[in-house]
Amino acid sequence: MISSQEQIHPNHFAEPLLSWYDASKREMPWRDCGDPYRIWVSEIMLQQTRVDQATPYFHRFLGHFPTLEALATANRHEVLMAWEGLGYYSRARNLHDAAKTVLSKHGGVFPQTYHEIRALKGIGPYTAAAVASIAFGLPHAVMDGNVIRVLSRYFGIQEDVSLPATKAQIQQLADGLLDTARPGDFNQAVMELGATVCTPKSPLCAGCPLSTGCVAYKTGKTAELPFKAPKKKIPHHQIVVGICVDDEDRILIALRPEDKMLGGLWEFPGGKVEAGESRKEALIRELKEELGVEVMPGLRLCEVKHAYTHFKITLNAWICRIKTGEPEPRPKASKKLRWITSSELTEYPFPKANRKVTEALQTWLENRRKA
DNA sequence: AAACCGGGGTA
DNA sequence: TACCCAGGTTT
């Protein structure tokens, strides 16, 4: 907590910050456009995603869906195709659902109050405050990873910032510092400072407009703040998948359930290798469980390593034939299957790890055709 | 409060 | 390798 003597006059914070922002801000395709749709899409893409990573996807997405109505009237498959590779696919599903809500419940006009914005799918406290302030000039302070870092250093907050109580304290500080004449610019300025100057490692304090009032800078503790409790180790799984090919070189793919991880994307059937089991044994077992048929693994096509947020995988893919006399593959409940040609692989959204497999597969098929 | 949800950049 | 990112939802 900060004592009363250390209370900061908002102007001593906002004024130098906004001057710095006006002179130093980066160009972004959604910045200073005044279009709630573009600002909204950008804020969803920027959840847990850096500006440089999101920018090409923003252009691609707006190319497919230039207006809210275009997005609302598109189908799920198209939306996920435009999002493929960006991750956190629930963002795309929620964005799509929310666009439909705005069209049907708000007459296609983006809602202009904090609470109506907050009520849309995929919009939490951060995004509601961001859109409200940036698109509509409403006085709501954002709190994201940048704000947490900047304010925890500025005020010398030593409590664990992952605790809800600490976050509530930082939100209060942000609310008090907000420049109500320029709330959108103030919010973007704190985040811009966090992204370019007050960085997690090796912050550039010499170029910081707030250094003279910064507790962490004055006490040499920028490297210790913000404080977070150490994280747990994440597991590493061995994954096996089968690429079932029929006599006409068609390939079997499966649709992941909408409400699960990577929901709405397609994949090759497979699963985890269990303890005491060989990879091929696991492959035969998983495909028997998922498809109800016995397969014969042939060529091991490729190995892909991939890191998710909470676990890592090493994925091995085999070309498979379904044994003669077996029935047509039958998916487990709520899982759709489809036989497609190799050229159709690019028309279906795949997770990153599976996309690497489709690329290896197309290369292999091409080389086999030449030979 | 903790778990879950992708992918990529950075040191 | 470990950490982090313009977070939100679910349990």
What is the per-residue pLDDT for A175?
97
Please report whether residue A224 resides in a domain: no
Footprint of strand B on the protein (CB under 7 A): A 48-50, 52-53, 85-90, 162-165, 201-202, 232, 260-262, 306-310, 351-353
Å between CA of A87 and C1' of B4: 14
Bridge partners of residue A245, in order along the sequence: A251
Contacts of A299-306 with CB under 8 Å at 24 or more apart are A299/A364, A301/A243, A301/A357, A301/A360, A301/A361, A301/A364, A302/A356, A302/A357, A302/A360, A304/A353, A304/A356, A304/A357, A306/A352, A306/A353, A306/A356
Q: Roughly how many angstroms between the first and final C-alpha of chain A, as a whole number?
A: 72
Chain B: bases < 7 Å from a protein Cβ: 1-11
Q: Are residues A258 and A286 in the same domain?
A: yes
Nucleotide showing the shortest C1' distance to residue A42 CA: C6
Q: Are residues A25 and A115 in the same domain?
A: yes
Cα–Cα nearest to A241, from A210, A275, A259, A266: A266
What is the per-residue pLDDT for A9?
63
Please report whether residue A227 resides in a domain: no
Per DSSP, the three-state class of A309 is coil
For chain A, list residues with pLDDT below 50. 1-6
* H and E: helices and strands count for chain A: 14, 7
Q: Which CATH number does the domain housing residue A284 bear? A: 3.90.79.10
At A184, the amino acid letter reads G
A124 Cβ nearer than 7 Å to chain C strand:
yes
Report the distance separating Cα A105 and Cα A361, nearest Å: 45
Q: Which CATH number does the domain housing residue A205 bear? A: 1.10.340.30
Which residue bears the tokens 């966090």? Answer: A194
Cα–Cα nearest to A345, from A239, A245, A240, A238: A245
A309 Cβ nearer than 7 Å to chain C strand:
yes
Å between CA of A60 and C1' of B7: 17
Q: Are residues A61 and A136 in the same domain?
A: yes
Q: Which domain holds residue A246?
A: 236-370
A232 Cβ nearer than 7 Å to chain C strand:
no
Q: Are residues A312 and A250 in the same domain?
A: yes
Q: Are residues A277 and A197 in the same domain?
A: no
What is the per-residue pLDDT for A4?
40
Q: How many domains does chain A have?
A: 2
Nucleotide showing the shortest C1' distance to residue A310 CA: B4
Å between CA of A200 and C1' of C2: 13
Q: Report which residue is nearest nucleotide C7 when distances run from CA to C1'.
A: A47
Q: Are residues A243 and A186 in the same domain?
A: no
Contacts of A19-28 with CB under 8 Å at 24 or more apart are A19/A209, A20/A189, A20/A193, A20/A209, A21/A185, A21/A188, A21/A189, A21/A192, A21/A193, A22/A185, A24/A192, A24/A196, A25/A188, A25/A189, A25/A192, A26/A51, A26/A192, A26/A196, A28/A55
Which residue bears the tokens 């005491």? Answer: A276
A125 Cβ nearer than 7 Å to chain C strand:
yes
**Half-sphere exposure of residue A79: CA atoms within 13 angstroms, side-chain side:** 24
Q: How far is CA A362 from the centre of its chain?
A: 28
Please report whether residue A41 resides in a domain: yes
Report the distance separating Cα A261 and Cα A331, nearest Å: 18
The active-site residue out of A43, A84, A286, A290 is: A43
Q: Report which residue is nearest nucleotide C1 when distances run from CA to C1'.
A: A233
Q: Are residues A270 and A197 in the same domain?
A: no
Per DSSP, the three-state class of A200 is coil
Q: Are residues A58 and A191 in the same domain?
A: yes
Annotated active-site residue A43? The verdict is yes
Å between CA of A274 and C1' of C4: 32
Å between CA of A307 and C1' of B11: 18
Please report whether residue A225 resides in a domain: no
Q: Are residues A201 and A339 in the same domain?
A: no
